[in-house]
Chains A and B, each alone.
Chain A
């Protein structure tokens, strides 16, 4: 437990991905497989069912610290983190021992869930008395189920890949099912996870996604003739790659995360796909009666669950709108032109003939003026805008490679928008005076000349755009994640991502970020986005036409 607590501390204070990766590597290199199994589970985001109610935890902690409950609450208010508050309040343990992580979880934490309250409290006291203060903090984190330390499942995967010299995507594939809430990973599970690759294991690796750039001025200014372009609706769903090889299929998100388990109906559909094919497309909730997409929030309810029940699947039916074909009959065809790939894709979707596999419609126009008319229908159709793809272009890599720059464009209805991280919240006015309704947002600054560490730079305040229900949700988040209070303002633990739209943007010397936005408003809460994926200052500056 001490080594794991030390790892937690190190990850918690490291801001660069490199340092985190190195720390993970050092930990896994020395950890016994049984401990590494649990470390992998928690670090990659696994959450066991909560074993002790938070009220019991508070009560036991206040009692152990010999303070009244009101004072415990004051302390919690000042610290903003339950596990840390408790660790700071408990009296120093007289005799501590280094209990291995796996033992700590299987003997001190998991059994608590089935015990009566009194026995739970006794169990907590015993555990606390045996752990040193750093271990107690992590122990409390494991118990409260709020174990988050700024590493993603992807990063853990990469660390294990480096250590075991197995490809990261293979590890990710093997990790399917590893993080279930009732899983109890063993040394054996861990060894399987990191065993060297054997030839029979199917290879379900996706290709790097090709990303579009935002179009900031009308297309006639820079894109030549409208007829040189494939035009499609830009759907408000989640980008995904469906990989079918060796008889089995996997669905990958843009974050290189395997999301197959969350969308069983798409896996069912994929059974009908021919072997050796990779589709690029949009995972989206679809109302078959109106033949239109469901609101993005509905899709979020699906993404929030690792395992989905029948009711949720019926409430939010999912389809895959295919818009590109990257591998066909086992051959990588990314260097073929868009026109060629599109023709093959049309034939494939047609042949598969599955309602859950839709072809992204091509919008036929002969002029940009005509397209501008069509674009106005986007909102009505539940689309975010248009996608423009040059018909003679190959499928590129990433967003910024020079040779592929300018071949995929997104022409959004709301071109001015970024995903930003909530960092401050302030109480509202009038009927919302008791709620935190005014927010400040930050984006990542990757250009720190002194180090490779990125930091968040505040760039805008916004206080409109959310529904009452959403405001209440954000308000609860703010209260749970307060780091500090200054009068009506709270500093919030950076975590929650929201999409911020604005009317204009310009360079500004007066603002710390170097840019000033006009009329910022909240477009939506992005619970699906980890804060590492929020936008960068660079992309903001690009919107402002600099950098």
Chain B
């Protein structure tokens, strides 16, 4: 008798993952009235929603990407009543401001992870285990072939590669997604090796990070460099779209590398024709996914974007009710969607800062924002 059963806290609708009790969506892929956003990557935080709710640390990046939107922010753990639901945001450890969305209705708790990682990251708040009945997890790297090394060992390898290039008078170029990966790299670089040059798309996000109090080493844009000879020892951080583009010509001889979880696979490294591939991901690896799922204590787990089927099957073989949601986050198995910025800051105008496009929908309408329900602090 389906009518006697409590309505699920979260369900899949055409526009995205929907919470009926609060009449809102989480990371919708089609425009809706109320969107709770886990993080500001473009596949999770899209244009055209009427009202947005996100973490306070997300505000800068979201506004720079989406322009003048109606956005309400929450501190981590701060509780907000939306309709019948109590909503709070908790660190997901993915990028600056990334959050898991906790929804509670009548004592039932559902947590949507968005994207997350459990490895430490100096540029964002660490993943928080939020106990729940139902956990919605991503599965970007949901196969046991994906196991990340200790970050400090990897950063040491990257710094050694940079130092070796610098000694040879060769510029080092690392392609990294402008939002998140680039800053995490920066935080681990050893600035005593040489100057650090960032592509305009990366620098915009560096500013947003610094504005939130994240310590990053000194960086400069190519246009700031007057003494070209100083570049010979430089580390350049640029978005993947610059690979093979004219933007790189100015650096003369360089060695290049890509920082991504996909670099774990030899074929992916070879196909990109790079000198090096550094396995650095902002997503959980296989052990990370399993430990996160287990520690939530959830008895029901919905798996979204990535290696959905293997993870669902594994969970069911291990006593957890695993199911899947067919979402439109990322491209299946494609990290490329992550961290791509709005078109205005694409490689065509490399040094220009992103500007708000004209076609942003959604203006602040007083008295009709997402917080018109009662607020409930603390607990």
- Residue interface mask A62-86, B partner, CB < 8 A = 1: 0001011011001100111100110
Q: Which residue of B lies closest to A481 (CB)?
A: B267
- Residue interface mask A1-35, B partner, CB < 8 A = 1: 00000000000110100000000000000000000
Q: Which chain A residues lie closer than 8 Å to B147 at the CB level?
A: 88
Q: Which residue of A lies closest to B310 (CB)?
A: A74
A300 part of interface (Cβ distance < 8 Å): no
A81 x B271 contact (CB < 8 A): no
Distance of B261 from chain A, by nearest CB (Å): 12
Interface residues of A in 243-297 (CB under 8 A from B): none
A505 part of interface (Cβ distance < 8 Å): no
Q: Which chain B residues lie closer than 8 Å to A450 at the CB level?
A: 249
A453 part of interface (Cβ distance < 8 Å): yes
A85 x B145 contact (CB < 8 A): yes
Q: Which residue of B lies closest to A482 (CB)?
A: B267
B310 x A493 contact (CB < 8 A): no
A80 x B264 contact (CB < 8 A): no
Contacts A70-B313, A74-B307, A453-B273 hold; do A89 and B267 have CB atoms under 8 A apart?
no
Q: Which chain B residues lie closer than 8 Å to A491 at the CB level?
A: 267, 271
B276 part of interface (Cβ distance < 8 Å): yes
Distance of B299 from chain A, by nearest CB (Å): 22
Q: Which residue of A lies closest to B275 (CB)?
A: A13
B270 x A65 contact (CB < 8 A): no
B271 x A483 contact (CB < 8 A): yes
CA distance A13 to B268 in the complex (A): 11
Cβ-neighbour of B268 out of A12, A70, A483 (below 8 A): A483
Q: Which chain A residues lie closer than 8 Å to B313 at the CB level?
A: 70-71
B227 part of interface (Cβ distance < 8 Å): no
A81 x B144 contact (CB < 8 A): no
Distance of B232 from chain A, by nearest CB (Å): 17
B269 part of interface (Cβ distance < 8 Å): yes
- Residue interface mask A90-122, B partner, CB < 8 A = 1: 000000000000000000000000000000000
CA distance A68 to B315 in the complex (A): 13
CA distance A407 to B309 in the complex (A): 62
B145 x A484 contact (CB < 8 A): no
A483 x B307 contact (CB < 8 A): no
Distance of A59 from chain B, by nearest CB (Å): 16
Cβ-neighbour of A79 out of B267, B271, B273 (below 8 A): B267
A455 part of interface (Cβ distance < 8 Å): yes
Interface residues of A in 191-229 (CB under 8 A from B): none
B144 x A80 contact (CB < 8 A): no
- Residue interface mask A315-353, B partner, CB < 8 A = 1: 000000000000000000000000000000000000000
A89 x B266 contact (CB < 8 A): no
CA distance A74 to B309 in the complex (A): 10
B317 x A68 contact (CB < 8 A): yes
- Residue interface mask B75-110, A partner, CB < 8 A = 1: 000000000000000000000000000000000000
B144, B264, B269, B270 interface centre (most CB from chain A within 10 Å): B144
A84 x B273 contact (CB < 8 A): no
Cβ-neighbour of A89 out of B144, B268, B270, B273 (below 8 A): B144
Interface residues of B in 134-169 (CB under 8 A from A): 143-145, 147
CA distance A450 to B253 in the complex (A): 8
Q: Which chain B residues lie closer than 8 Å to A453 at the CB level?
A: 273
Q: Which residue of A lies closest to B334 (CB)?
A: A486
Q: Which chain A residues lie closer than 8 Å to B268 at the CB level?
A: 483-484
Q: Which chain A residues lie closer than 8 Å to B267 at the CB level?
A: 79-81, 483-484, 491, 493
CA distance A65 to B249 in the complex (A): 45
Distance of B372 from chain A, by nearest CB (Å): 44
Please tell me the size bucket of the interface on B.
Answer: 20 to 34
Distance of B76 from chain A, by nearest CB (Å): 34
Distance of B63 from chain A, by nearest CB (Å): 34
CA distance A161 to B364 in the complex (A): 75
Please tell me the size bucket of the interface on A.
Answer: 20 to 34
A13 x B310 contact (CB < 8 A): no
A75 x B317 contact (CB < 8 A): no
Q: Which chain A residues lie closer than 8 Å to B249 at the CB level?
A: 450
CA distance A85 to B265 in the complex (A): 9
Cβ-neighbour of A78 out of B145, B269, B275, B314 (below 8 A): B145
A65 x B144 contact (CB < 8 A): yes
A75 x B143 contact (CB < 8 A): yes
Distance of A326 from chain B, by nearest CB (Å): 40
Q: Which residue of B lies closest to A150 (CB)?
A: B270
Cβ-neighbour of B266 out of A15, A65, A68, A84 (below 8 A): A84
B145 x A79 contact (CB < 8 A): yes
Interface residues of B in 224-270 (CB under 8 A from A): 249, 264-270
Distance of A132 from chain B, by nearest CB (Å): 13
Distance of B249 from chain A, by nearest CB (Å): 8
- Residue interface mask B272-287, A partner, CB < 8 A = 1: 0111100000000000
Distance of B319 from chain A, by nearest CB (Å): 15
Q: Which chain B residues lie closer than 8 Å to A68 at the CB level?
A: 317
Distance of B272 from chain A, by nearest CB (Å): 11
CA distance A70 to B371 in the complex (A): 48
Q: Which chain B residues lie closer than 8 Å to A74 at the CB level?
A: 143, 307, 309-310
CA distance A84 to B265 in the complex (A): 8
B270 x A12 contact (CB < 8 A): yes
Distance of B230 from chain A, by nearest CB (Å): 22
CA distance A453 to B313 in the complex (A): 44
CA distance A453 to B256 in the complex (A): 14
CA distance A439 to B185 in the complex (A): 39
Q: Which chain A residues lie closer than 8 Å to B144 at the CB level?
A: 65, 67, 71, 75, 89
A79 x B265 contact (CB < 8 A): yes
A70, A78, A455, A483 interface centre (most CB from chain B within 10 Å): A78
Q: Which chain A residues lie closer than 8 Å to B276 at the CB level?
A: 13
Q: Which chain A residues lie closer than 8 Å to B264 at the CB level?
A: 88
Q: Which chain A residues lie closer than 8 Å to B309 at the CB level?
A: 74
CA distance A450 to B246 in the complex (A): 11
Contacts A67-B144, A78-B265, A88-B264 hold; do A13 and B314 have CB atoms under 8 A apart?
no
Distance of A491 from chain B, by nearest CB (Å): 7
Q: Which chain B residues lie closer than 8 Å to A81 at the CB level?
A: 266-267
Q: Which residue of B lies closest to A80 (CB)?
A: B267
Contacts A85-B145, A89-B144 hold; do A71 and B310 have CB atoms under 8 A apart?
yes
CA distance A484 to B275 in the complex (A): 20
CA distance A78 to B145 in the complex (A): 9
CA distance A81 to B267 in the complex (A): 9
Q: Which chain B residues lie closer than 8 Å to A79 at the CB level?
A: 145, 265-267
B314 x A71 contact (CB < 8 A): yes
Q: Which chain B residues lie closer than 8 Å to A12 at the CB level?
A: 266, 270
Distance of A138 from chain B, by nearest CB (Å): 12
Distance of B330 from chain A, by nearest CB (Å): 13
Q: Which chain B residues lie closer than 8 Å to A70 at the CB level?
A: 313
Distance of A459 from chain B, by nearest CB (Å): 17
Q: Which chain A residues lie closer than 8 Å to B310 at the CB level?
A: 71, 74
Distance of B34 from chain A, by nearest CB (Å): 33
A89 x B145 contact (CB < 8 A): yes
CA distance A74 to B143 in the complex (A): 8
CA distance A491 to B270 in the complex (A): 12
CA distance A79 to B270 in the complex (A): 13
- Residue interface mask B45-72, A partner, CB < 8 A = 1: 0000000000000000000000000000
Selected A-B contacts with CB under 8 Å, 20 pairs: A12-B266, A13-B274, A68-B317, A70-B313, A71-B144, A71-B310, A74-B307, A74-B309, A74-B310, A75-B143, A78-B265, A78-B307, A79-B145, A79-B265, A81-B266, A88-B147, A88-B264, A453-B273, A455-B273, A491-B271
Q: B: which residues have CB within 8 A of A?
A: 143-145, 147, 249, 264-271, 273-276, 307, 309-310, 313-314, 317
Name the 7 nearest CB pairs between A and B, nearest first: A483-B267, A88-B145, A74-B310, A75-B145, A75-B143, A84-B266, A78-B143
Q: A: which residues have CB within 8 A of B?
A: 12-13, 15, 65, 67-68, 70-71, 74-75, 78-81, 84-85, 88-89, 450, 453, 455, 483-484, 491, 493
User: Can you add 15 more A-B contacts, CB < 8 Å, to A13-B274, A455-B273?
Assistant: A13-B269, A15-B273, A68-B317, A71-B313, A74-B309, A74-B310, A78-B143, A78-B145, A79-B145, A79-B266, A79-B267, A450-B249, A483-B268, A491-B271, A493-B267
